[in-house]
Chains A and B, each alone.
Chain A
Amino acid sequence: MTLDKILIANRGEIALRIAKTCKRLGVSTVAIYSEADREAPFVKEADEAFPIGPPPVPQSYLKADEIIQLAIRSGAQAIHPGYGFLSENAGFARKVREAGLVFIGPDADTIEQMGDKIESRKTMSAAGVPVVPGTEAGVATLNEALQAAEKIGYPVMLKASSGGGGIGMVLCHDEQALGQQFQTVKNRSKAYFGDDVVFLEKYIENARHIEVQIFGDIHGNIVHLFERNCSVQRRNQKVIEESPSPSLSADLREKLLSSALEAAKAVHYKNAGTVEFIVGGDDNFYFLEMNTRLQVEHPITEEVTGLDLVEWQIEVAKGNPLPITDQNAIRTTGHAIEYRLYAEDPNTFMPSPGSLQILDWGHADHVRIDAGYREGDQVTPFYDPMIAKVIIHAEDRAQAIERSEAFFAQVQIEGLKTNLPLFSDFIDSEEFKRGDYHTKVLSEWLKQHKGELAK
């Protein structure tokens, strides 16, 4: 199959990133843009660009039918969804294919299956991939809860089934705590969410978030492209990612990679995907979820493997086998770290939309910058606050950190607030340098250093 024109159903840095590979491969690109993005670099970079609607996402980047119509009208044979927006929308993937176009991503059924928390848990459990021990079906009485907790092992998290955002969630360290909290959580759940179903889940202490990049094709080939450690987070938002993961024994790495392959095989995975694991302080690990798209942090994998993941996605979408099917032929060199530069106040973490009056990266040797904006551009309040991803590749971790420090020291951004000051301070910390950090490392470090990031 030939693919010589692709519509990119996204914006910002990822739209530019996809276009870059297309250009190299001689594939022409069609951009879609909202009124707020009229002047954005990704619009100028595309071979053709079409307005899709007003700034709010539901009226622009989520207009599935219009996007498909535009693809057909412009003569594109495929749609690349990027990440976010319509990328994990099974209905969209189905519609694209029903329209006779190629959806650059996995099967719609796989997106659906992995998008459902309970369903994906069941699938992985059946495939022998460890999942966080818990009582999916709910516990009706305190007695039942105590028995279940005994089996799971303390500490346990008592959760409201209909809960979310931390509401209706209590950590219980022992039998006594569970006894005291059971009825309270049940009552609160009833009051907040209108139903009092609660369940238990094992609480993973000192957890690390480690994910594995996997790739499959329609011929049944499945490989992994090694792991990424994404434990430096704030409010479940990733801030810094590394590959390979520091502080990971060869044995545990091997187990994670083979479990990820098992997970991918269980759903006959096609195209790029990520298997996320939560790794406990005791080195036990559990399947968290599977992301059925290209990940924001894919560049660190590209840097260490030397592969172009978007090129792989296009090859798979064409129906070709993976460019490399022999797992042993996929190797990594050195160490890569990615920093997500956000338009936000480094102290209050409030969004900081505005104009990038000065955006000077300085000398950027050995640095890859995937930016969605250029100097003079507006960062509008309509979309996520990410300005750019800074990816630094070096021979080893120490050198990568050194290069990061040198790079951040000379970057200049003016016109809006960014989390740039946080990077230089945090990567200099003992916690980060040691590399054995867990998902609370950044919030704990911030608590200790509050106020010190003021410009």
Chain B
Amino acid sequence: MTEVKAAMAGTVFTVNVSVGDQVETGQVIVVLESMKMEIPVETESAGKVTSINVQVGDFVNEEDVLAIVEE
């Protein structure tokens, strides 16, 4: 199981996948907006998206789990 975590605090700008999607290592799962910059958040392993914990506009803190990918 891979937890896709926010590297910094920010606002969810886009959610690029849906639950059930098959994703590749390095694929962008969520794009955060922090300090006027778009920050892509990638998954560190391939698998199936089993949960997405955020929606566009949500505020997240550093280390918050944004989504879960299971092999």
Contact = CB atoms under 8 A, between A and B. Distances in A.
Interface of A: 55-56, 343-344, 350-354, 380-385
A123 B67 CA distance: 51
A378 to B, nearest CB: 10
26 contacts: A55-B59, A56-B11, A56-B57, A343-B35, A350-B7, A350-B8, A350-B37, A351-B8, A351-B10, A351-B34, A351-B35, A351-B39, A352-B8, A353-B8, A353-B9, A353-B34, A354-B9, A381-B8, A381-B11, A381-B34, A383-B35, A383-B36, A384-B35, A384-B36, A385-B36, A385-B37
B33 to A, nearest CB: 8
Contacts of B39: 350-351
A343 B42 CA distance: 23
Interface of B: 7-11, 33-37, 39, 57, 59
Given A55-B59, A353-B35, A385-B35, 13 more contacts: A350-B7, A350-B39, A351-B8, A351-B34, A351-B35, A352-B8, A353-B8, A353-B9, A353-B34, A380-B9, A381-B8, A381-B33, A381-B34
A352 B33 CA distance: 12
Q: Which 5 pairs from chain A and chain B are nearest by CB?
A: A351-B35, A381-B34, A385-B35, A351-B34, A381-B10
A350 B33 CA distance: 11
Contacts of B8: 350-353, 381
Contacts of B37: 350-351, 385
Contacts of A350: 7-8, 37, 39
Contacts of A352: 8
A348 to B, nearest CB: 10
A344 B33 CA distance: 14
A55 B9 CA distance: 13
Nearest to A348: B7
Nearest to B7: A350
B41 to A, nearest CB: 12
B67 to A, nearest CB: 19
A56 B59 CA distance: 10
A353 B39 CA distance: 13
Choose among B35, B39, B57 the residue with the greatest number of A CB atoms under 10 Å from its CB: B35
Contacts of A56: 11, 57
A38 B39 CA distance: 26
Contacts of A55: 59
Nearest to B10: A381
Contacts of A351: 8, 10, 34-35, 37, 39
A381 B64 CA distance: 15
A344 B34 CA distance: 11
B56 to A, nearest CB: 12
A397 to B, nearest CB: 31
A191 B39 CA distance: 25
Contacts of A344: 35
Contacts of B10: 351, 353, 381
B2 to A, nearest CB: 21
Choose among B7, B9, B10, B33 the residue with the greatest number of A CB atoms under 10 Å from its CB: B9
A319 B34 CA distance: 41
A327 to B, nearest CB: 37
A391 B59 CA distance: 34
Contact of A382 (B7, B11, B57): B11
